[in-house]
Every structure is written in structure tokens, then in C-alpha cells.
Structure 1
């Protein structure tokens, strides 16, 4: 059972203040009533009568105003509206967690297909718990990307349901592997059993990174083509993921997130359709913070487009890391806005990606390094996305990467 601590905007003490003010007003009225009642009474001087009139005025006019002021001041702030990202047969949500040192808050940029709020809790240095309200269920897939100007690596040790909610753990590290606070964007996505996204999509969470081969047939696996998902280990930290039934697919995009409680970087080397084997294959490489191959669990997602009709978004394969400016081409590019992306390199490892036709005022983005040992972090701005990539030493490095954005 998790502890959430003190409410964000507690409304306490209002009843006590009302009772005290009512008592003051009541006493004043009693004094006036005693003076006006028939019978003998102590004579009152004019100053005392004036004072009583003043008391009555306070009790009858100012005190109610004070009561209203105290009540208004103690009233909880209204909860910000959480936009719904509702898609048939899907449970989904995202957060942009941009207050890395804050203990608990509701991010300004978030969505939830159950119309419930999402909360971010900081449980320790570099350790966070994202609570997706009313999205709790066994399975699904999650992803995380550091959103910061610092050199950070973020992983997902686990995600699981607790009651009606889905809990997604996020751990962030510096280049040395030590826990370090960081902003991040996190996404949870689950397709209902037997449900279809309406688009081409597949995902799995690798269960045993040391096994030579394994078929993943659990709640953490989905394939819109109905084929089997499996994975094979080629060498330390080197894997091939197979999505059965997707052998005719061209293009699309792949996202990979390490499922680990240590600083781990997992990226995509390439993906390709293999008609003879009746599958689509994606090669995944995992390394530690220093760039050395390491066996690791990971979550991998393939989508053609953004996975479902009617969902705004884009994906970009930025594959010319040394060019000053270019328009990515080929079947791996997609935008629901109907306009091509533009990539600009300002200096080594520093990129700006423009997605015309998409406002970028909300939505979720994920970045996966492509065919490299480097890792990347993201920052969003009005109208574009900023990407910074670094090699295992922490130095800025020109790098291929995959960017996925959807609203």
C-alpha cells in the first residue's frame, strides 16, 4: 500500500473559525438584548451605548464577511482538467514530469483514457512513481525518455496495477550510474484482450534476458496481426525480437526502453520485414552507462504510423547525424499533419526537430537511439523538439535517433 502523505491543498480549520466567530457575534447580541429587555438594569452612558452599536455593526456586517473570506482562503484549489486520450479498445496515458525535485504533483501536460488524473511522486533521489489513475491492469507496455538539459539515463524497473490504478516506476541516473533527479516523459499503453488498435502495432516485454530464445505470450505482449511474439539472444546484450505475421510491413518505427533498476541504455540497431520467416524482426542492443554490453530486460514497441487511426502524431528516423539541415525521407517517416519533418543540427549532438502541422502544446514524445552506443535526452519547445545525444563518456556526439510523438 503506497502512502501519499498530506493532501496537496488541505481544507482544515474552517469549521473552527466559523464556530469562534459565531460565538463572538452571539455574545454581542446577548449584551444588546439584556440592555433592551424590560426591568432594572445598570445605567449606560452614551459612550457605552455607542460601543454596543459598534459591536452590533461588527457582528452583523463585518463578521459574515470574515467568515466568507476564511472559507474562500481554505477552499481547495480546483483540480486541473485532465484531457482524455481515448481510443477504442485501449487503456493509455502519458505524463510530462517536469518538476524533478517536487515530492508529489499532477503534471500540467498529461492525458488519461479513463478521464482520471495522473500523479508523479518522488520517492527518493532519481526515483519516481507515476500513478495512472484508473488504468490499472496486468500487462501493457510502458516507455520513458529523459526530458532535461542534463546528461541523464532513465529506466523502468517495473509497472503493475494496484487497485484501480497503474503504477509505473521510473529510475534516473547520471553518467556514472548514480541516482540523479531528472525530468522525463512516461507513457503507458495497453490493448484490451481480444481488442485491436485499428492500426498495425506490436509490443512485448522481455522476461528473461539470459535465455537463448523465448516466446512471449503474456499480458505484456500484443500483436495486431495475431502472430506470435518472440525473442532470441545472440550475445551479451544483443537480441533479436520477432513479431509474427508482420512480414509484409514496410517502414514504421520502433521504441525501446530498458526494464532495469541500474543505469542501462537499450537502442535499436535496425528492423526489417522477413517474408520467408513470416515475421518482422528488430535488433536490440543493451549496454551499461559506460557503453559495455550487458544482458538486460527491455520493452520494445513497433507501430506503423502512431498505432491507431484518428490519433495525431508523427515518427521520424533521423539518420543523417552530421548534416546541418535536412528532411528525413523513406518509409520510416510519418506525420498525421501531412507535412515532412525537418531536422537541424546546431552543433555536435544537438538537434532540433520540427513537426509542421502538429502544435506540440500537449502530447507525449519518446526518443530511442538508433544504431549507436549513445543515449539521447529531449526537451520540448513551442513548435519543435530539441534532442541532445552523448556517447558513453558523456561527450556530445552526432547520433542517429528515432523520435516518436503522439497526442
Structure 2
């Protein structure tokens, strides 16, 4: 507890200049987005990815086009979202692995009119290994009208590379120690209760094994304070680039209506407004356990609509991490997300996590 209190005190030192738009204009968020499931990480470049688990904003103008991808090397896979290329935004990746494999982003960039991104995955211990995963990318600008809020940070080797806050109030933050970072997302929360959902993903351009989780989070008035801790293959805290995002009463993509079928849950319990589903409301998502120890089943009522995606991030004071055990399924109108968590050695281990799910409609 003393260590966590010290972290809170250190936040004052690292949260200096606030990054945000100077004169924000009213605008819908997100500007562009795409998501996909890579359920076969060995297909050649550029194979059309699973069409039941992908969508993007390009579909409005190019309805016949699909996200594609293919294997570049062992554990390395390239994804292409057509027609929506831009150098900004944020990416999240969640492995689909029962064996404890984990994944990171190497980079994302426009290539002509397209957005391409490379993902690298590893076995426990750090050996590169072909791994299924789910991935999303989104970019936003301007101020978003209610309901809800959305913010993200791309953190690089020397500080914040890119950031967004739908309230127009900006973000601030930086390192606390080796592999330890704190950020304040201004005005995105609720003043009375902890609310919303966080996700984090490691970025490692040279492909060395890295992963990040949410160490702790809290509210400071309407501000959200988030601590991101990152680790290497040995479970040691390691300086790492990463993305961090927050969403409340909106999708992880940052948009609302559409999509209007989405939900999120923090498994520490029905705390504040951290278990939310649109359209069914507060505390309607259900989290249960299943064998083996460390496995959880999250049911999102009424969200099994059209094309969908899911992301998971561990909330841990150690190097533990969480994956999808398999692609999500449907039970009638409900979406069922199967999650499993691991210690650094890849042993099944119970852990608190953030789960988020959205349809494209």
C-alpha cells in the first residue's frame, strides 16, 4: 500500500504540460477505425481476414473491400486496413492463446491510402511464435458531444508521441521509474464514482518481447489517473513504448451510435460505472469462472450483433497478463468472451482484468 501511495504522490511530478487541442471544434469521434481477428497467423500476405470478425470505416465508401494480412516471419504478422491510412491514432492487440503467448505492436503507418500495422508475438520465455490475435486501430480529433468520453495516449521513448481527449482537456504524464508510467486523462470520468474502461498494449519496434498492463487506476474529480507498468520476457520492469486508451459509455474505438451495441467490465467487482452495456445498462455484463484456475467467462447481453471485436488487459501489481482463450462466441443474442490469465512463466493464474467488446453497428 505504501508503494502505491508513493506512486500517487509522484504523479504530481510527472504530470506537467497538458497535451490537448488549442481551439477544439465540435466533431464526432472517431475519424477512422478498423478491427480484425487473425485466427490463422500463418496465412500468406495479403489474405482476407475472417470476415465475421472485422469491420472498419472504409466500408462506407468501399463496401466490397476487406482487411487483409499475412505472416512475415515467425511470430510476426502484418495487417492492412484499406483506404484509412494515417500515421496517428492508437492500436490494441490481444492474443488468442491458451498457452500464454503474448503479442506487441511493432509499428503502424500509412502505406499509400491504406493503414498497415505489424504485430509480433512470443511464447512465455520470449521465443517468437505464430499466435492468433485480435487487433484494432482508431484515430480521433475534435471534441465529442455526450454521451461518454474517450482518450488515448501513444507513449514513445522520449515522451508522448500522440494523444487525444474527447473533452478537449488533454492528457499529461510520464515515467515514474524503470518500466513504470502514470497518466492523467482530464475530465473524462465521473465526479462521484470510478467509471469507464482502460486498455494498454506494448509497442516494441525491434520485436524484443514486451508486454504492459494496468498496475492501478483511480479518479481525481472527473480526471482518470492510470498507471501502466511494462515488462520483458523475464518479468522484469522494462522501459517500453505503449498505447493506453480509456472509454466511458462509448466503444473502445471511441465512437458512439454507431456503434450502439457495446460493453465493458472491470472484474474487480461492480465498482462505480465499470460494468456497462449499451443498450442493457449498468451492471448487466456477467463475469464467471471456469476450469482451469485463472479462466473467466464474460457474458455481454445482446451484443452478438453483426461483426464484433474484443480486447482484454490485465490489472495487476505484477507481470501477469490475460488473453482470450479462443475467439468469442454467441449464445442467442449474447456475446460470450473466454479469458484466461497467466503468470510470467505462462502458468494459469487468476487476475483482475479489463474486458471490452463492441459490434460494428
Cα offset for 1:229? 1.9
Q: Which has the higher strand share?
A: 2
> What is the rounded CA distance, in whole Å, between the counterparts of 1:89 and 1:228 in structure 2?
16
The 1:119/1:382 distance shift into structure 2, 3 A limit, reads same
> What is the rounded CA distance, in whole Å, between the counterparts of 2:145 and 2:116 in structure 1?
23
The yes-or-no answer on 1:272 pairing with 2:218 is yes
> What is the rounded CA distance, in whole Å, between the counterparts of 1:232 and 1:161 in structure 2?
27
Partner residue in 2 for 1:172: 121
Partner residue in 2 for 1:403: 355
Cα offset for 1:343? 1.4
Partner residue in 1 for 2:330: 382
Contact 1:197 1:308 in 2 (8 A): no
Report which stretch shifted further, 390-399 or 368-377: 368-377
Q: Which has the higher helix share?
A: 1
Contact 2:189 2:196 in 1 (8 A): no
The 1:341/1:293 distance shift into structure 2, 3 A limit, reads same
Cα offset for 1:195? 5.7
> What is the rounded CA distance, in whole Å, between the counterparts of 2:320 and 2:29 in structure 1?
37
Count of matched residue pairs: 304
Equivalent residue in structure 1 for 2:268, among 303, 308, 319 = 319
1:287-318 CA-to-partner distances (Å, cap 9, x unmatched) read 11221111101000011122433221110111
> What is the rounded CA distance, in whole Å, between the counterparts of 1:178 and 1:360 in structure 2?
37
Partner residue in 2 for 1:91: 32
Contact 2:42 2:70 in 1 (8 A): no
Structure 2 SS opposite 1:156: strand
Partner residue in 2 for 1:19: none
TM-score (structure 2 length as normaliser): 0.79
Unaligned runs of 5+ in 1: 1-86, 321-327
Unaligned runs of 5+ in 2: 1-27, 60-64
Partner residue in 1 for 2:165: 223
> What is the rounded CA distance, in whole Å, between the counterparts of 1:357 and 1:184 in structure 2?
24
Contact 2:142 2:168 in 1 (8 A): no
Partner residue in 2 for 1:349: 294
The 1:318/1:89 distance shift into structure 2, 3 A limit, reads closer
> What is the rounded CA distance, in whole Å, between the counterparts of 1:358 and 1:188 in structure 2?
20
Equivalent residue in structure 2 for 1:281, among 225, 230, 242 = 225
User: Higher RCO, 1 or 2 (CA under 8 Å, sep at least 6)?
Assistant: 2
The 1:129/1:197 distance shift into structure 2, 3 A limit, reads farther
Contact 1:287 1:294 in 2 (8 A): yes
Contact 1:89 1:195 in 2 (8 A): no
> What is the rounded CA distance, in whole Å, between the counterparts of 2:320 and 2:54 in structure 1?
28
The 1:360/1:127 distance shift into structure 2, 3 A limit, reads farther
Contact 1:92 1:113 in 2 (8 A): yes
Cα offset for 1:134? 0.5
> What is the rounded CA distance, in whole Å, between the counterparts of 1:329 and 1:122 in structure 2?
41
Structure 2 SS opposite 1:114: helix
1:163-214 CA-to-partner distances (Å, cap 9, x unmatched) read 10011111111001111001110101011x4363754111010022xx5xx5
Contact 1:360 1:382 in 2 (8 A): no
Contact 2:105 2:119 in 1 (8 A): yes
The 1:356/1:279 distance shift into structure 2, 3 A limit, reads closer
Partner residue in 1 for 2:22: none
> What is the rounded CA distance, in whole Å, between the counterparts of 1:245 and 1:389 in structure 2?
31
Structure 2 SS opposite 1:269: strand
Structure 2 SS opposite 1:137: coil
TM-score (structure 1 length as normaliser): 0.70
Equivalent residue in structure 1 for 2:109, among 133, 145, 160 = 160
> What is the rounded CA distance, in whole Å, between the counterparts of 1:187 and 1:112 in structure 2?
9
Structure number with greater Rg is: 1
1:103-158 CA-to-partner distances (Å, cap 9, x unmatched) read 13212221021114211111111101110001101201111000133321100011
Equivalent residue in structure 2 for 1:100, among 35, 41, 45 = 41
Equivalent residue in structure 1 for 2:255, among 299, 303, 308 = 308
Equivalent residue in structure 1 for 2:142, among 181, 184, 194 = 194
> What aligned pairs does 1:228-239 form with structure 2 within 5 A after superposition?
228-239=170-181
Cα offset for 1:356? 1.3
